[in-house]
Amino acid sequence: MTTLADSTDFSKAHKRQRTYKACPPELIAKYRGRLPDVLVNTWEASGFQEFSDGFLWTVNPDELREVAADFPNNFQTEFIDVIFRTAFGDLIVSHKGKLYHLSAVTMRSDSLPDRLEHVLALHFGQKRFLDAIFFLNMFKKGLKRLGAPAEDEVYALVPAPAMGGDITADNLEKAKLRVYLNFLAQLQSKD
């Protein structure tokens, strides 16, 4: 049974991990065959996990589906499965078997390689991608100043870049995950 821990690059990049919540067996059964085995196997073996002091989180897809659906995209809500989220509220989404990155920092939506193993090795496993795409360096500064985000928190950029704020660690504040993502979605819907 292959899990996230078996991804060499991912494991090297995210040495600190902890289970923050158990995954119910019915959720494992629901998503087996719909989502990549490596992810569902990880839920089964270790529950939902937080990596690198809250930089990256595996999540229950059912809990963030509606939030992801509020972001401007052409996704059909019933096929949205949020599988990861970052400390900034970025969402990694599976939609009809394709993977996407919905950035709460830049408010962009980009496609990712279709195989989760490639995303783990490159995007989540290589420092240059973690810095360039997911703002790892900014996270480290926020972590030092604010402490780790809790399960229901994010590092929010205040003011949000969509309102003219700068993407800098000096503008980070802790906020509630759902409240902040709903706020960003509302900003985008007004554009």
CATH (domain of 62): 3.40.1580
- Give the integer Cα–Cα distance in Å for 59 and 63: 8
Please give the share of the chain, as a percent, with pLDDT higher than 90.
70
- Residue 133 is predicted with a pLDDT of 92
Grade residue 189 by pLDDT with cuts at 50, 70 and 90. Answer: low
The verdict on residue 109 lying in a domain is yes
Of residues 162 and 188, more confidently modeled: 162
The verdict on residue 165 lying in a domain is no
The verdict on residue 163 lying in a domain is no
One-character DSSP codes across 12-63: HH---EEEEE---HHHHHHHBTTB-HHHHHHHHHH-EEEEGGGTEEE--HHH
- Report how many domains make up the chain: 1
Please give the share of the chain, as a percent, with pLDDT higher than 70.
98
- Give the integer Cα–Cα distance in Å for 47 and 40: 9
Report the Cα 179 to chain-centroid distance in Å.
16
The verdict on residue 21 lying in a domain is yes
- Residue 190 is predicted with a pLDDT of 47
Mean pLDDT computed over every residue of the chain: 92
The tokens describing 64, both together, are 């963030």
- pLDDT(111) > 50: yes
The verdict on residue 20 lying in a domain is yes
Residues contacting residue 6 through CB under 8 Å, at least 6 positions apart: 38
Phi/psi at 44 (5° precision): -65, -45
The verdict on residue 70 lying in a domain is yes
Residues contacting residue 55 through CB under 8 Å, at least 6 positions apart: 14, 86, 87, 134, 136, 139, 143
The torsion defined by the Cα of 157, 143, 138 and 22, in degrees rounded to 10, comes to -80
- Residue 151 is predicted with a pLDDT of 95
Tens digit of each residue's pLDDT (9 = 90 or more) over 124-171: 988 889 989 999 999 999 999 999 999 999 999 999 998 999 999 999
Q: Which of 6, 17, 158 is nearest to 89 (CA)?
A: 158
Residues contacting residue 58 through CB under 8 Å, at least 6 positions apart: 4, 39, 42, 43, 48, 49, 83, 84
- Residue 69 is predicted with a pLDDT of 86
Contact in structure between 4 and 49 (CB atoms under 8 Å): yes
Tens digit of each residue's pLDDT (9 = 90 or more) over 62-99: 999 988 888 767 788 888 999 999 999 999 999 988 99
The verdict on residue 188 lying in a domain is no
The verdict on residue 149 lying in a domain is no
The tokens describing 130, both together, are 């973690």
The tokens describing 46, both together, are 């270790």
For 111-132, the three-class secondary structure string (H helix, E strand, C coil) is ECCCCHHHHHHCCCCCHHHHHH
Where in the sequence is the domain holding 77, given as residue range(s)? 4-135
